[in-house]
Chains A and B, each alone.
Chain A
Amino acid sequence: MKTLFKKTLIATAVSVGVVGTASAKDLVIVSWGGAYTASQQNAYHEPYMASNPDIKIINDDSGNDAVAKLRAMAEADNWSWHLVDMVASDAILSCDEGLIDEVDHDAILAAAPDGTPATEDFGNLIVSPCFIPQIVYSTTFGYRTDLVKAAPTSIADVFDLEKIPGKRSLEKKAINNLEWALLADGVAPDQVYDLLGTDEGVAQAFAKLDTIKDQVIWWEKGAQTPQLLADGEVVMGSTYNGRLFSVIEEEKQPIAMMWDWQVFDLDGWVIPKGAPDKDEVLKYVKFATDTQRLADQAKFISYGPARASSAPLVGKHATLGIEMGPHMPTNPENARNTLVYNYEFWADNVDDLNERFTAWLNQ
Chain B
Amino acid sequence: MTSATATDANPAGTGEVMTADGVPLRISLARARRRSRNRALLLVAPLFLFVLITFFIPILSMLFRSVENQIVGETLPHTVEALQQWDESGGDLPPEEVYAALVEDLRIANETKTAGKVGRRMNYEKSGFASLFRTTARRIKRIEAPYKETLIKAKKDWGELETWQVLKRESDAYTLSYYLAAVDFSYTPTGEVLKLPDDRSLYVGLFWRTIWMSLLITVLCLILAYPISYLLSTLPVKTSNLLMILVLLPFWTSLLVRTSAWIALLQKEGVINDLLVWVGLIGDEHRLTMIHNATGTIVAMTHVLLPFMVLPLYSVMKTIPPSYMRAARSLGATPFMAFVRVYMPNTVPGIGAGALLVFIISIGYYITPALVGGQSGTLISNFIAYHLSISLNWGLAAALGTILLVLVLALYILYDKIVGIDNMKMG
Contact = CB atoms under 8 A, between A and B. Distances in A.
Interface of A: 64-65, 67-68, 71, 93, 95-98, 102, 217-218, 231-233, 344, 347-356, 358-363
Contacts of A361: 375
Contacts, number: 80
Closest 7 CB pairs of A and B: A96-B116, A65-B389, A352-B127, A68-B389, A98-B113, A359-B202, A348-B128
A358 B376 CA distance: 11
A351 B200 contact: no
A96 B205 contact: no
Nearest to A345: B131
A205 B230 CA distance: 56
B390 interface: yes
A218 B392 contact: no
B114 A98 contact: yes
Given A348-B127, A348-B128, A348-B131, A233 B116 contact: no
Interface residues of B, number: 37
Interface string B119-160: 110011001111100100000000000000000000000000
A64 B389 CA distance: 8
B269 interface: yes
B268 interface: yes
Contacts of B117: 96-98
B279 to A, nearest CB: 21
B130 A347 contact: yes
Contacts of B201: 359
Contact of B391 (A232, A344, A347, A354): A354
A217 B374 contact: yes
Contacts of B116: 95-98
Interface of B: 112-117, 119-120, 123-124, 127-131, 134, 199-202, 205-206, 267-269, 292, 374-376, 383, 388-394
17 contacts: A65-B390, A96-B115, A96-B117, A96-B130, A97-B120, A98-B112, A218-B375, A232-B269, A344-B131, A347-B131, A348-B129, A348-B130, A348-B131, A356-B200, A359-B201, A359-B202, A362-B375
Contact of A68 (B113, B134, B267, B388): B388
Given A231-B267, A348-B127, 10 more contacts: A68-B388, A68-B389, A96-B117, A96-B119, A97-B116, A102-B113, A218-B374, A232-B269, A348-B129, A351-B127
Contacts of B128: 348-349
B166 to A, nearest CB: 13
Contacts of A64: 389
B202 A358 contact: yes
A38 to B, nearest CB: 22
A222 B209 CA distance: 28
A81 B324 CA distance: 65
Nearest to A363: B199
Q: Which of B117, B268, B393, B394 has the most CB of A within 10 A?
A: B268
A65 B199 CA distance: 29
B50 to A, nearest CB: 20
B377 to A, nearest CB: 11
Contacts of B119: 96
Nearest to A206: B199
A362 B205 contact: yes
A67 B389 CA distance: 8
Nearest to B133: A96
Contacts of B200: 355-356, 359
A360 B199 contact: yes
A359 B269 CA distance: 30
Nearest to A350: B391
A30 to B, nearest CB: 14
A309 B288 CA distance: 53
Contacts of A351: 123-124, 127, 391, 393
Nearest to B112: A98
Q: Which of A93, A102, A218, A348 has the most CB of B within 10 A?
A: A348
Contacts of A71: 392, 394
Contacts of B268: 231-233
A224 B201 CA distance: 28
Contact of A359 (B127, B129, B130, B199): B199
Given A68-B388, A96-B134, A347-B131, A233 B124 contact: no
Contacts of B123: 348, 351
A362 B380 CA distance: 12
Nearest to B268: A233
B262 to A, nearest CB: 15
A67 B202 contact: no
A96 B113 CA distance: 7
